[in-house]
């Protein structure tokens, strides 16, 4: 039996509003999180991801009451991330209605928390978000790629894409898999908001390096971009924001299109 591929809208939330940027910057408003969440759930989204994108940078917790409101209007699995540094942060998110916890900066700062979260809440609950960007200054100990005559490695970034870590993405993905992550949410900063399609080289490399499901994120501008990444990598799910928020494509329409292209999705 073929496992169906998941289509996941993403709500990047700042100051209580859904926003969308380009390469994690130049942010603009995209609507009310509760309204959008309900709409996507009703349209047949497989899951929903809610990221409080400034929580880590502003050193604060995720906005719990908003998480609760979103959870109350949807009936699909719901991942919430942003500012998770401790087991208590994660517990609060889950108690307010989330099904899974997303952690990024907190995991880089304290990798052991991945194992602790897994042991307490179960592996299926732990989503490690990884934001990666191409770095053309080569250094030893990294996985080097080449495209269009240029060589580079992928560096992991934290604090909502604002701070580099010097960590190689392939090595970090393998480590989070080993530590107990249930899933990786992989975002290409280079492609974020560009609508130029997913970074297939990055996605395929991560999928081939780990044993857990991977969600591709960053760059989706049209349904054919999803077909592309599903056909060229064994990725488990695609996450998108712009194409859903700005009414260019509905979740239902995207899934119908994928079905026609013989991508196994749940209609």
Known active-site residue 12: yes
Is position 52 annotated as part of the catalytic site? Answer: no
Spatial CB neighbours of 15, under 8 Å, sequence gap ≥ 6: 54
Residue 63 and residue 76: Cα distance in Å, rounded?
20
Please list, in sequence order, all residues whose beta carbon lies within 8 angstroms of the beta carbon of residue 45, skipping any fewer than 6 positions away.
Answer: 7, 8, 9, 76, 251
Catalytic residue, chosen from 12, 89, 177, 192, is: 12
- Which two tokens mark 219? 């760059």
Helix (H) / strand (E) containing 8: strand 6-14
CB-based contacts of 133, cutoff 8 Å, min separation 6: 154, 155, 157, 161, 164, 188, 189, 190
Give the integer Cα–Cα distance in Å for 226 and 8: 11
Among the options 131, 177, 199, 225, which is catalytic?
131
Kindly report the number of other CB atoms within 10 A of residue 225's CB atom.
Answer: 21
Active-site positions?
Answer: 12, 131
């Amino acid at each position: 039996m073929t496992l169906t591929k998941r289509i996941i809208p993403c709500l990047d939330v700042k100051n209580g509003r859904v926003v969308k940027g380009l390469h994690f910057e130049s942010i603009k408003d995209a609507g009310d999180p509760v309204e959008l969440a309900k709409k996507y759930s009703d349209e047949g989204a497989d899951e929903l991801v809610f990221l409080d994108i400034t929580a880590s940078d502003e050193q604060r917790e995720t906005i719990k009451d908003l998480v609760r409101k979103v959870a109350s209007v949807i009936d699909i699995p719901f991942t919430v991330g942003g500012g998770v540094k401790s087991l208590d942060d994660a517990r609060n998110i889950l108690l307010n209605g989330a099904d899974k916890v997303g952690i990024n900066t907190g995991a880089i700062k304290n990798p052991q928390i991945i194992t602790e979260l897994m042991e307490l809440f179960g592996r299926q609950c732990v989503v490690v978000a990884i934001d990666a960007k191409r770095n053309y200054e080569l250094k030893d100990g990294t996985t080097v790629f080449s495209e269009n005559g240029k060589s580079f490695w992928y560096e992991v970034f934290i604090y909502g894409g604002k701070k580099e870590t010097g960590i190689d993405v392939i090595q970090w993905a393998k480590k989070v898999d080993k530590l107990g992550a249930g899933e990786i949410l992989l975002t290409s900063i280079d492609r974020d908001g560009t609508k130029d399609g997913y970074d297939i080289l990055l996605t395929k490399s991560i999928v081939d390096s780990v044993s857990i499901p991977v969600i591709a994120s960053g760059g989706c501008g049209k349904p054919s971009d999803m077909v592309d990444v599903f056909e060229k990598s064994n990725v488990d799910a695609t996450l998108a924001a712009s194409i859903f928020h700005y009414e260019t494509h509905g979740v239902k329409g995207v899934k119908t299109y994928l079905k026609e292209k013989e991508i196994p999705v749940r209609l």
